A and B are shown apart, each in its own frame.
Chain A
Amino acid sequence: MSIYLPIAELSVNIFLLLSLGGVVGFLSGMFGLGGGFLMTPLLIFIGIPTNVAVATSANQIVASSISGTLGHWRQGLVDFKMGGVLLIGAFFGSILGVWIFSKLVAIGQIDTVISILYFALLTGIGLSMLIESSKVIRDRIRRKSVKQKIHYHNWAHRLPFKVRFYKSKLYISIIPPIIIGFVIGILSATMGIGGAFILIPAMIYFLGMPTSKVIGTSLFQIIFITALVTILHATTTFAVDAVLAFFLILSSVIGAQVGVLAANKLRGEEIRALLAIIVLGVATKIALDLLVKPNEIFNLSVIRLVF
């Protein structure tokens, strides 16, 4: 059974969409990731145009991060003030990101740029997950406990415009979070990701936020950043496909909840290593598409009046 997507202007198998959303949702629930970094390339692989894949992914992430934030919010693990400061940067970043995106569409280089960005992102994610999980597995075998530094004092504490963030027990300049938000905004708008994978380490290492507050706060700000990106794409690139988003959201929300349940029952490291391999596999496929001479070196696109 297939469904016609009004914005992508093609029909796809409905079960393919549901299983794609379900699997990405499951992985995101299991590992506490947004899943956008897998959703966008997989949508492109099944033939969805790049611009629609990016814009619709952003819409889908809104739903999955709301699901995630609620749990953290109830436990008081969201630093709304920090989230708000990050959002100031993210606001301008995503406006710039959507502008860059529509320019790249106009000159016909969007596919290439997205491929290169995704290759870099997925290789980074995949390798770091693989190294981290294999380290944990090795340490477990050696019965060694890993000591972690809780608080980092660095250059972020010496800049002007210092503000007190009570929830995170921090007194730092608002410049670093604004810059981090700005970069995440650009990436979110151009790649259709929430950016948690970059945001979380940045919040821990650059801002020195306590680990317990990081996930809830990043999810909280991802809701707003992806919401903004959705609106910006809907109004400038006209690439948000509501029908596609609906099926992806429905299946990913269910998948995410199942993933959360599964995460409590299964041992994480081995599965994390497996996910790392899947991520690296997707990265390899993207790299091959760029490096191997394509069968058809010409590609055709119908010019729409909006660009």
Chain B
Amino acid sequence: MIRQLIILFYILIGALTPSISIALVIGSDQEEIYIDANFSGEELLVFGAFYSDPSQSRDSKSDILIEVVGPLEDVALRKKDSYFGFWLNSKSVTFRDVPGFYYLSSTSELTDEFLATNQIGLLEKKKSEMIDWSSLTTDWGSVVNDKEKEEFYNALIRTKQDDNLYKQVSDEIEIIDGNLFRSYIDIPNTVPVGEYNVNLHLIIDNEISQEYSYNFMVTRVGIEEAIYSFSKNYPFFYGLISLIIAIIIGWSGAEIFKRFRKV
């Protein structure tokens, strides 16, 4: 509520500043997403306002684009092949520095051309000539020809999409009163921890007119964080404690039930 008032305030300020013809202000409901024992995914709210003149409605040609880029990670992509009737992993490709989470949302369908010129998006590069191999640090292993590379690249995006980690949509941004917008972004429970960049673009006539970026963090907290870091930092003691818990429950379970049977 307070943030929405702030936005209204900005809109008024903007209206009093004639030098800026169009402006973009945004807000978000949180700067941090906490992964705790109850974490089962979360909805991230991104909202804001864009306007040209408060008395006029939104320019029909202007669009909003929201991009969320998660922390980079290295992934191994393996392809299964049939050997004597069994489907076994065969060729493997390692992609380095790919986003662990990627979300692209816009108020209207974006053209491949627009995405290519502005270097936005990973999902639309379906044709091999559009894939810029040099932008990817990739260990191709035994994969040599371009057709197969393209197959692996598309599979990378497809498998990430299937896990709800990559997404491109053009119908999730809600426009209110022509000038305010709001979007709920689904953060699934499998998201990697780390820093996420949220980039907002105001697009007018197929060109980016305004940009705004901010970060939020996905962090493990509480007992989840304690257990995770303990298991990495003191693996021996972690194993030992896991054992002790098992011994205590196993032993006391037997004792408790023994008494039950005697009664």
Asked whether A293 lies within 8 Å of B87 as measured between CB atoms, the reply is: yes
- For A250, the closest partner residue in chain B by CB is B249
A7 within 8 Å of B (CB atoms): yes
A172 smallest CB distance to B (angstroms): 31
Interface of A is mostly: helix
B235 within 8 Å of A (CB atoms): yes
B231 within 8 Å of A (CB atoms): yes
What are 14 inter-chain pairs, A to B, with CB distance below 8 A? Answer: A4-B37, A9-B190, A11-B40, A11-B41, A62-B246, A62-B250, A227-B243, A231-B236, A238-B232, A253-B250, A298-B152, A298-B155, A300-B76, A301-B78
Could you tell me which residues of chain A, from 1 to 53, have a CB within 8 Å of some CB in chain B? 2-4, 6-7, 9-11
Asked whether A242 lies within 8 Å of B227 as measured between CB atoms, the reply is: yes
Give A contacts to B, CB under 8 Å. Answer: 2-4, 6-7, 9-11, 59-60, 62-68, 70-71, 108-109, 111-112, 227, 230-235, 238, 240, 242-243, 245-246, 249-250, 253-254, 256-257, 260-261, 290-294, 296-303
Return the contact of A297 from the options B85, B87, B223, B257 (Cβ within 8 A). B87
Contact partners of B257 in chain A: CB under 8 A: 257, 260
- With A232-B239, A257-B253, A298-B152 already in contact, 9 other A-B pairs whose C-beta atoms are closer than 8 Å: A7-B231, A68-B254, A70-B251, A242-B242, A298-B77, A298-B156, A299-B80, A300-B156, A302-B73
Asked whether B38 lies within 8 Å of A298 as measured between CB atoms, the reply is: no
Contact partners of B163 in chain A: CB under 8 A: 300
Asked whether A242 lies within 8 Å of B245 as measured between CB atoms, the reply is: yes
Asked whether B74 lies within 8 Å of A290 as measured between CB atoms, the reply is: no
For B173-203 the 0/1 string (1 means CB < 8 A from A) is 0000000000000000110100000000000
Asked whether A233 lies within 8 Å of B80 as measured between CB atoms, the reply is: no
For B142-164 the 0/1 string (1 means CB < 8 A from A) is 00000000001001101110110
A262 smallest CB distance to B (angstroms): 13
Contact partners of B223 in chain A: CB under 8 A: 6
**Cα distance, A155 to B217, chains bound together (Å):** 65
Contacts A11-B189, A296-B159, A298-B77; A112 near B250 (Cβ below 8 A): no
Asked whether B40 lies within 8 Å of A253 as measured between CB atoms, the reply is: no
Asked whether B75 lies within 8 Å of A234 as measured between CB atoms, the reply is: no
A107 smallest CB distance to B (angstroms): 8
B94 within 8 Å of A (CB atoms): yes
B190 smallest CB distance to A (angstroms): 6
Contact partners of A64 in chain B: CB under 8 A: 250
B136 within 8 Å of A (CB atoms): no
**Cα distance, A227 to B236, chains bound together (Å):** 12
Asked whether B243 lies within 8 Å of A108 as measured between CB atoms, the reply is: no
Asked whether A245 lies within 8 Å of B86 as measured between CB atoms, the reply is: no
Asked whether B239 lies within 8 Å of A230 as measured between CB atoms, the reply is: yes
Return the contact of A296 from the options B94, B158, B242 (Cβ within 8 A). B158
For B75-118 the 0/1 string (1 means CB < 8 A from A) is 11111111001111100101000001000000000000000000
A39 smallest CB distance to B (angstroms): 13
**Cα distance, A70 to B249, chains bound together (Å):** 13
Contact partners of B88 in chain A: CB under 8 A: 109, 112, 290
A251 smallest CB distance to B (angstroms): 10
For B111-153 the 0/1 string (1 means CB < 8 A from A) is 0000000000000000000000000000000000000000010
Return the contact of B75 from the options A111, A257, A301 (Cβ within 8 A). A301
**Cα distance, A9 to B39, chains bound together (Å):** 10
Asked whether A231 lies within 8 Å of B247 as measured between CB atoms, the reply is: no
**Cα distance, A70 to B251, chains bound together (Å):** 8
Asked whether A249 lies within 8 Å of B75 as measured between CB atoms, the reply is: no
Asked whether A302 lies within 8 Å of B246 as measured between CB atoms, the reply is: no
Asked whether B74 lies within 8 Å of A294 as measured between CB atoms, the reply is: no
Return the contact of A108 from the options B92, B159, B253 (Cβ within 8 A). B92
